[in-house]
Amino acid sequence: MRGQKPDLSETGPGEDEWRTRFSRLALLLRSLEATGKRKEKVKILAGYLKELRPEEVAPSVLLIVGSIFPEFDPRTMNVGYATVRRALGGDRQATLIEKPLTVLDVYKTLTEVAEVKGPGSRRVKTSMVRSLLSRAEPTEAEFLIRILQGEMRIGVDEGMMIEGVAEAAGLEPELIRRALMMTGDLGKVARIALMEGEGGIRRVGVNLFTPLKPMLATPSYDIKEALMEHGGVTAFEYKFDGARIQIHRLGEEVRIYSRRLMEVTPSLPDIVELVKNRIGSRELILEGEAVAMGSGGRPLPFQTLMRRFTRIHDVEDMVKRIPLRLHLFDILYIEGRLLIDEPYSERWRILEEVCPRELLAERLVTGDPREAEAFLRRALEMGHEGLMAKRLDSTYTPGVRGKGWFKIKPAETLDLVIAAADWGYGRRTGWLSNYHLAARSGGEWLIVGKTFKGLTDEEFKWMTRRLQEIKIGETPHTVYVRPEIVVEVDYNEIQRSPHYRSGFALRFARIRRIRDDKPPEEADTIERVKELYERQFEYKAKSEF
Ligand code: AMP
């Protein structure tokens, strides 16, 4: 996979006294944490951002949101609970000249920590973290540890940072959001907004080989709701049970990105060939779903597909064993023309012009609910998940979950995040096997249930390893983890719960699949749980008649 580095310009030498101290940032983080009011947070952020020197903007912004690399960057901090504990233990080396930490020092060191690889890397990381912490005052150390563990929790997410940057730069948040969608690099966008203003930010365009954030869909109750919301007529497409890919092509160069904006080209040589041979334009960005194909052309389970996506060695063998089928459903760019502001119907027209029919998603444009129901039944019979409903005049809004796209899945599931896990007993001794499932609520994660059902033995083992890597605390029975792993969960019923702080509990929860392809920010929210709770109530009330 090819890493792209965030754009940070060089700093000048010997200007330390002018640089922003890390203690200033720690103070800011403390005051952001202390207020729950969104507007006030935005004001505090904007005030801080305006004080910064150009080269400090990107590092500051990334440190505040608590993830130092842009989403598409494959590097991760990967500093576990154990490393931090080891770094905190042991002898603290007193530094002779205690130079105060600056924001740039911290950012640079954290980047270096993330880049240490290979044998002995744990030791090296521990010692780098130890020397960083030895220069930190208590508040600085506290926030450093939170950043290292990916546990910032000060209630500043990307959306709020966009507002803070917009206020500091005196620009509309929409302009910042748009630039971010094109580049995926929050630090870079913030610097351009603050240093180059409106002109600069408007010049941020789409770049081939820099993936755009995918447009997201809102869950819909049923076909009728989707039709009504879309003004009576809409485009239904099969909702394929696969992995979303974004394909960039310039001449003979084709690169493919996952939904999380990671490059997956080396695992998909068959899709690369298909694009080179069958697509009628040499400069474009396409979007579609790749589905693993079993006998008789029926889709294979998602977990099988994921094996294709993670494979880097013996790819040729995998290509034969798990053939893929590509279903294209959007086009975002063609030959110098950005298409995201074009209506869906126009994008589809262009898509049809450049792609052969058999590579396009099956779709039906209709206003007739009965026709749509029949289409949905056909989708399910073919082994797909349901339908998407796409508003004919909707633009492509990268990274945004709007009402332009609805997803209609008859088997309702929730995408939840694992926040902790209990050690198993009996047959499951030695495995972390009872998972605490959490839904998003602002910057917090609230538990809505637990389950030990649904995983294979292999998956239990994988999960046990993975959870220990992201451990942030533990008791003899339970390991607490960073909220990073998303699982799709089936359940029988949502109940009110006095037991969980969320107020809800899932009855008979069962993991349907591990959603490696989904970032935790896209997991379901407590509002969604509440909505589903109320809907089942509606349904029950109705069924009593
Ligand atoms: P979900 O993962 O349940 O939030 O549903 C959204 C996902 O459905 C998208 O990110 C795509 O990966 C997938 N999908 C399958 N078929 C389509 C389609 N025809 N149009 C758009 N997305 C699709």
CA quadruple 11, 12, 15, 16: dihedral positive or negative? positive
Q: Which residues in the chain are classed under CATH 2.40.50.140?
A: 414-536
Mean pLDDT of 312-322: 89
Q: Which residues in the chain are classed under CATH 3.30.470.30?
A: 216-408
pLDDT band at residue 97 using 50, 70 and 90 as cut-offs:
low
Which pLDDT score is estimated for 539? 45
Which residue minimizes the CA distance to atom 9 of ligand 1?
Answer: 244
528 close to ligand 1 (CB < 6 Angstrom): no
217 close to ligand 1 (CB < 6 Angstrom): yes
Is 175 a residue whose pLDDT tops 50?
Answer: yes
Is 280 a residue whose pLDDT tops 60?
Answer: yes
Coil vs helix vs strand at 391: coil
In CATH, 216-408 is 1.20.140.10: no
Atom of ligand 1 nearest to the CA of 413: 3
Which residue minimizes the CA distance to atom 4 of ligand 1?
Answer: 217
Q: Which of 125, 188, 239, 390 is catalytic?
A: 239
Distance, CA 219 to ligand 1 centroid (Å)? 11
pLDDT band at residue 344 using 50, 70 and 90 as cut-offs:
very high
Which pLDDT score is estimated for 17? 66
407 close to ligand 1 (CB < 6 Angstrom): yes
Is 519 a residue whose pLDDT tops 80?
Answer: yes
261 close to ligand 1 (CB < 6 Angstrom): no
Residues β-bridged to residue 508: none
Distance, CA 240 to ligand 1 centroid (Å)? 7
Distance, CA 412 to ligand 1 centroid (Å)? 14
Which residue minimizes the CA distance to atom 18 of ligand 1?
Answer: 239
287 close to ligand 1 (CB < 6 Angstrom): no
Question: Residue 335 and residue 348: Cα distance in Å, rounded?
Answer: 16
Distance, CA 106 to ligand 1 centroid (Å)? 39
Candidate of 218, 236, 240 to mutate for ligand 1, largest count of ligand atoms within 8 Å of Cβ: 240
Which pLDDT score is estimated for 537? 62
Q: Which residues in the chain are classed under CATH 1.10.3260.10?
A: 1-205
302 close to ligand 1 (CB < 6 Angstrom): no
Which residue minimizes the CA distance to atom 3 of ligand 1?
Answer: 407
488 close to ligand 1 (CB < 6 Angstrom): no
Which residue minimizes the CA distance to atom 6 of ligand 1?
Answer: 217
Q: What is the CATH number of domain 1-205?
A: 1.10.3260.10
pLDDT digits (tens, 9 = 90+) for 260-276: 889 999 999 999 999 99
Q: Which among 75, 151, 85 is positioned nearest to 117, based on CA atoms?
A: 75
Atom of ligand 1 nearest to the CA of 214: 10
Q: DSSP strand E in 186-280: where?
A: 216-219, 234-239, 243-250, 253-258
The DSSP string of 509-540 is -EEEEE-TTS-GGGSPBHHHHHHHHHHHHHHH
389 close to ligand 1 (CB < 6 Angstrom): no
Let me know if 239 is a catalytic residue. Answer: yes
State the Cα angle at 119 between 113 and 123, rounded to 5°.
50
Q: Which among 149, 28, 7 is positioned nearest to 85, based on CA atoms?
A: 149
Distance, CA 510 to ligand 1 centroid (Å)? 22
Mean pLDDT of 46-53: 96
Is 300 a residue whose pLDDT tops 80?
Answer: yes
CB 86 within 8 A of CB 125: no
Question: Residue 52 and residue 45: Cα distance in Å, rounded?
Answer: 11
517 close to ligand 1 (CB < 6 Angstrom): no
Distance, CA 285 to ligand 1 centroid (Å)? 17
Is 71 a residue whose pLDDT tops 90?
Answer: no
pLDDT digits (tens, 9 = 90+) for 176-235: 998 998 888 999 999 999 999 999 999 988 889 989 989 999 988 789 999 999 999 999
CATH fold of 414-536 reads: OB fold (Dihydrolipoamide Acetyltransferase, E2P) (2.40.50)
Candidate of 246, 261, 289 to mutate for ligand 1, largest count of ligand atoms within 8 Å of Cβ: 289
pLDDT band at residue 77 using 50, 70 and 90 as cut-offs:
confident
CA distances from 64 to 58, 149, 180, 475 (A): 10, 14, 17, 29
Question: Residue 445 and residue 521: Cα distance in Å, rounded?
Answer: 11
244 close to ligand 1 (CB < 6 Angstrom): yes
Mean pLDDT of 483-492: 94
Distance, CA 267 to ligand 1 centroid (Å)? 21
Question: Residue 397 and residue 323: Cα distance in Å, rounded?
Answer: 31
Is 14 a residue whose pLDDT tops 50?
Answer: yes
Residue/partner pairs of 462-467 with CB below 8 Å, 24 or more apart: 463/421, 463/431, 463/432, 463/433, 463/435, 463/514, 464/430, 464/431, 464/432, 464/433, 467/418, 467/421, 467/432
Is 296 a residue whose pLDDT tops 50?
Answer: yes
pLDDT digits (tens, 9 = 90+) for 449-475: 999 999 999 999 999 999 999 999 999
pLDDT band at residue 58 using 50, 70 and 90 as cut-offs:
very high
Distance, CA 516 to ligand 1 centroid (Å)? 14
Atom of ligand 1 nearest to the CA of 515: 2
Is 151 a residue whose pLDDT tops 90?
Answer: no
Is 321 a residue whose pLDDT tops 70?
Answer: yes
